[in-house]
Amino acid sequence: MSRLCPRCVGASGPDPVSRLHTLLPVGLLEFIETVGRGMDAVGVAVIALGALGSVVIAATKLGKKVEIYRPLRRQLGASILLGLEFLVAADIIRTVALTPDLRSVAILGAIVLIRTFLSYSLQLEVTGYLPWQGEKARQEQQAAPVVPAGNPAATA
């Protein structure tokens, strides 16, 4: 006797491709779903707490004569990047283990493509270089002279 997962109870007709997950024990399916939800929660928490922390840090610098905008963007971007990694991992876990049909894999591919583009864009915003530019770009950026904002004598 084969046990069906809660989504397959009452499903009509045998569809071997979309119901490959029925080969897994129901307890394992529930565990995988729980892990996926947990990864989603961690991703959302990382983004939310990172945003809150970035704003709090920026707020503590409001009365001082230091730049706020760029560090805020850098910290917020780093939080979003880390959160996106968890969200992509959760999508992969659920798609591969729970719904391995062609439609789900295509949707996962689109999600990963969009999130990868977003990650590269954020990486460029946060660090000033793309991931494949590597250590050389990082060293060049660190070696560049820093010109204080609002100092006309430094730019002349």
pLDDT digits (tens, 9 = 90+) for 103-118: 888 888 888 888 888 8
Number of domains in the chain: 1
> Which tokens belong to 117?
């583009």
DSSP 11: -
Residue 92 covered by a domain:
yes
pLDDT of residue 1: 40
**Between vectors from CA 42 to CA 37 and to CA 47, what angle results, nearest 5°?**
130
Residue 53 covered by a domain:
yes
> Which tokens belong to 87?
């969200």
Asked whether residue 147 carries a pLDDT value surpassing 70, the answer given is: no
Cα torsion at 139, 143, 144, 150 (round to 10°)? Answer: 120
Query: Which is more confident, 50 or 138?
Result: 50
CA distance 126 to 120: 10
Per the structure, the complete domain to which residue 100 belongs is given by: 24-136
Residue 18 covered by a domain:
no
For tokens 């709090």, name the residue.
Answer: 56
> Which tokens belong to 51?
């945003």
Judge if pTM exceeds 0.95. no
CA distance 64 to 81: 28
Least confident of 16-20, 37-41, 82-86: 16-20
pLDDT of residue 108: 84
Q: How far is CA 32 from CA 39, 59, 85, 102, 145, in A?
A: 10, 40, 18, 20, 50
Residue 156 covered by a domain:
no
Residue 141 covered by a domain:
no
Residue 78 covered by a domain:
yes
Residue 80 covered by a domain:
yes
Residue 19 covered by a domain:
no
